Structure 1
Amino acid sequence: MFAALPHSRPNLSGAFVATRRTTNPLFLASPSSLNLLSFSRVLRKSDGLVSSRSCSSKRGAHDLFEDFSVLLPDTPWDAKNTWTTFAAYFFILHIPLICQVTNGEGMQVASTALLQTTEFLGALALLHFTVKPQHAISSFFVEKLFTEQRSLIKATIVGAGLLIALVLLTSALADEFIGSRDVTSPVLKEILSDSSQSKAVCFVLYCFIAPALEETIYRGYLLTSLASKMKWWNAVIISSCVFSAAHFSVENSLQLFIIGCILGSVYCWTGNLASSIVIHSVYNAIILQSTIMS
């Protein structure tokens, strides 16, 4: 018997010769090599999935950071004149009046409150006359005080707690590495050493007039104007540096910068000046009470 040949074809002599189907050994895949190929494909797919998820999470965090601020690019003031307007306030109103307070011997609390009120009204007048024709400063500040885009209560509680914690931390670090020193304003001590009536007027001054003035200028005007032409966090940093420098207190400059950053961030998140004014007022009230008790 003859075994059947896999393939046969006649040659020129008429005899059949066996032929084999040749296969390139490079294309032969053993079970183990197939498993390796499948595993490498799975790895590539999983790597692509992880990288896409990583990119998505990064984009999500970036979008969340970008969406932190609700401040709009359209402001009532021309962004090109931001520093010109602020310089007019700073050199015409702020410095002359603050010099009157710091240089006045035996300055009464009523006189200090009057000067602060004059500065506040002068600042509002300046912002009114520099506003764009199609805008009204009254409607802008009404919106900034009474329109709630995000929870004011939550922002106020978190902001005040964070502010107090950071101020206490920086104070403890300063006492540890620099040494304890009295950084309380001598004018404030003089006012608080007077009668109970002077203390009451002082609380009105530092807890209502001063916060309203500073939040209007440094957050309502300066931060709003800067945020219209740059990233909100850069605007917060710049306005906080100016806020710290405007107090002319080297010893308290770091804490004032931190205060400005927190108040600015709260304002950016809520879009409302009421929350930053309340935090500012609470902080000043704590400082006054601690000064009285010291």
Structure 2
Amino acid sequence: MTFKRLILIVLTVGVVFSVGLRLWQSWSQPQFQSRLELFQTNLVLQASTYQGDDPNLDSARRALLGAEPIKIAAKEYQTFRQSVVKNLDQTQSLLAASPGGSETLQLTRSRQQQLALELDLRLGILQVSQGQTKEAQQTWAEVIQPAGSEPDLESLSKTAGTLAGLWNQPPQLMPDAESRLKKNLDGWFRYQALSQLYQLQQRQDALAALQLEQQQAAGRAYRSLALVGGIPVLGCLIGGGILLFLLGQWLVQRKQSLLSPAGMAAWTVPWERELIWEVLIFGFFLVGQILLPLVLQLVQGASGFNLALLSVRGKAVYILMDYILLTIGGLGVLYFLIQPFFPLPEGWFRFNFKGNWFWWGLGGYFAALPLVIVVSLVNQAIWKGQGGSNPLLPIALESRDNVALFIFFLTAGVAAPLFEETLFRGFLLPSLTRYFSIWGAIALSALVFAVAHLNLSEVLPLTTLGMVLGFVYVRSRNLLASMLLHGLWNSGTLLSLIILGNTG
């Protein structure tokens, strides 16, 4: 055994341990889908108060909002709160195991505590809206903190007392009730609380202005909900048509069909399996999962800045720079390792602006929609809201900074497709065709692509997406096609987050 291979084996063991640990840690983290569903629930609540002029839209409104939006929302909030409390308990255990605790863990605990209290404020309003005043009072009582707690938690505690007073018998109105409700509540919840306050204060002008404002917000929420829900439905219909065409063609033409491996030529691969192993270990996992985080951690320690304390724009820039460094490092290793085989056989790493690559990318995007959505629903049932998620998504969901959002689009829509498609479709998939069938190479490269994202809850959906990306690349023989599909997918996800975040 050579010294180089010994080092490779040692690094592989380290990488497998690191990846396995990250996947295991992701199990204790909530899926982002749970938070996204909560934002969509807020949007439904807001839109449920919309009073349109056209009675013909009533059936469409019921289909979009459901029969009992408040009851459904209460269940969603209760489920999400249980998940937050579970994660808070885990954070408390980690802090107890490490005397003094890290600053990041303490900040995480503080945010989880704040989120749990915010959820209780809203859950109580949902309960009183269903006539469950006694249950709401109990919920708000749990929010009330002893004096001297953290400022944010104390502010939420006083807001809980304000809400409890509004629905008390007899009512107890705090002198700063209006300002507190406006500060710590938003959307439908703010309108419900302020409406109760103005009615008790008999401020008819303020109540009329509030109702007008609520109708305007409800109209915006209704249109946003139709957009967020309608575009994927339309895309799924188009994608379903494409999938039915491909299936029908395969049943009729078999070996002449687009799905048939007979029409998918393998690449001429000049290197052995050990080089594939080296590229993945050195070029992606070692650089991206070990060296780069270590260097960034050292830089943070030397400079004294904490990533968790950065602004949204600062985090956006940090994430983009992290991805640029990963791209430079990963593709640099790839180039160094395959350079001895230059010139490469025909068909490797093709970027051709001619041909039908655009239609392959666009058609692949539509075809991926119904497949990934169905798999995601199954995935939700398997992991039950746990399994972690991409850390970029929650930041983008709550961002109001247009510059930060533009940077997120650059990262997700340009940088990620460029690097990941070059590595996983441009190099890994063709290399695997030397040892596996075409569909076997597509499936295995898709699985590696999914695992590389280091979140258990994303493995099945990303494997499905990776297979569509692989099929599009094999058929188009053009990386621009899979990059377009990848960029459309990431950009579509971000666009939905922006709409939900700004109206939900």
Tell whether the structures are fold-level matches, with TM greater than 0.5. yes
Shift of 1:212: 0.6
Whole-angstrom CA distance in 2 between matches of 1:218 and 1:241? 10
Q: Distance in 2 between matches of 1:218 and 1:242?
A: 8
Tell me, what secondary structure is at the counterpart of 1:251?
A: helix
Matched, 1:111 2:318: yes
- Residue 423 (structure 2) aligns with: 217
Q: Displacement, 1:194?
A: 5.2
**Deviation (angstroms), 1:219:** 0.7
**Aligned position for 2:410:** 204
Instruction: Measure the CA separation in 2 of the matches of 1:156 and 1:62.
Output: 23
More displaced stretch, 127-136 vs 240-249: 127-136
Query: What amino acid sits opposite 1:234 in the alignment?
Result: G
Query: Deviation of residue 175 (structure 1)?
Result: 5.1
CA gap 1:289/1:91 in 2 versus in 1, 3 angstroms: same
Aligned to 2:480: 274
1:2-21 matches, within 5 Å, as none
- 8 Å contact from structure 1 (residues 78, 131) kept in 2: no
- Using the alignment, how far apart are the partners of 2:414 and 2:491 within structure 1? 10
Query: CA 1:230 to 1:104, structure 2 compared with 1: closer, same or farther past 3 Å?
Result: same
Select 2:360's aligned residue among 134, 142, 155.
155
Question: Alpha-carbon deviation of 1:283?
Answer: 0.3
Say which of 321, 335, 345 aligns to 1:128. Answer: 335
| Larger RCO (CA within 8 A; separation ≥ 6) | 1
Q: 1:113 is paired with a residue of what secondary structure?
A: helix
Between the aligned partners of 1:147 and 1:195, the Cα distance in structure 2 is 34
RMSD: 3.1
- The one-letter code of the counterpart of 1:72 is W
Picking from 488, 492, 495, the partner of 1:286 is 492
Q: Deviations over 1:140-198 (max 9, x none)?
A: 76x611175x6323322321111112122223444567656796534432255252111
- Distance in 2 of aligned mates of 1:173 and 1:80: 36
Which of structures 1 and 2 has the bigger CA Rg?
A: 1
Residue identity matched to 1:200 = F
**Distance change in 2, residues 1:177/1:124 (3 Å):** closer
1:88 is paired with a residue of what secondary structure? helix
Q: Higher helix fraction: Structure 1 or Structure 2?
A: 2
Unaligned runs of 5+ in 1: 1-56
Out of 43, 67, 74, the position equivalent to 2:262 is 67
TM-score using structure 2 length:
0.42
Identify if the C-alpha distance between structure 1 residues 288 and 69 changes in structure 2 by more than 3 Å, giving closer, same or farther.
same
Between the aligned partners of 1:185 and 1:72, the Cα distance in structure 2 is 33
1:117 aligned partner, one-letter code: I
Q: Distance in 1 between matches of 2:286 and 2:378?
A: 37
Measured in 2, the distance between the counterparts of 1:167 and 1:292 equals 21
The letter of the residue matching 2:308 is E
Q: Distance in 1 between matches of 2:272 and 2:361?
A: 30
For structure 2, the residue ranges without an aligned partner over 5 or more in a row are: 1-249, 298-305
Equivalenced residue count is 232
Bigger mean CA deviation after superposition, 182-191 or 210-219: 182-191
Q: Percent identity?
A: 23
CA separation of 1:249 and 1:228: change in aligned 2, threshold 3 A: same
**Alpha-carbon distance, 1:73 to partner:** 1.8
Q: Distance in 2 between matches of 1:200 and 1:265?
A: 30
Q: Is the 8 A contact 1:70 1:270 kept in 2?
A: no
C-alpha contact (below 8 Å) 1:244/1:253 kept by paired residues: yes
Shift of 1:116: 0.4
Normalised TM-score (structure 1): 0.68
1:240 paired to 2:462: no
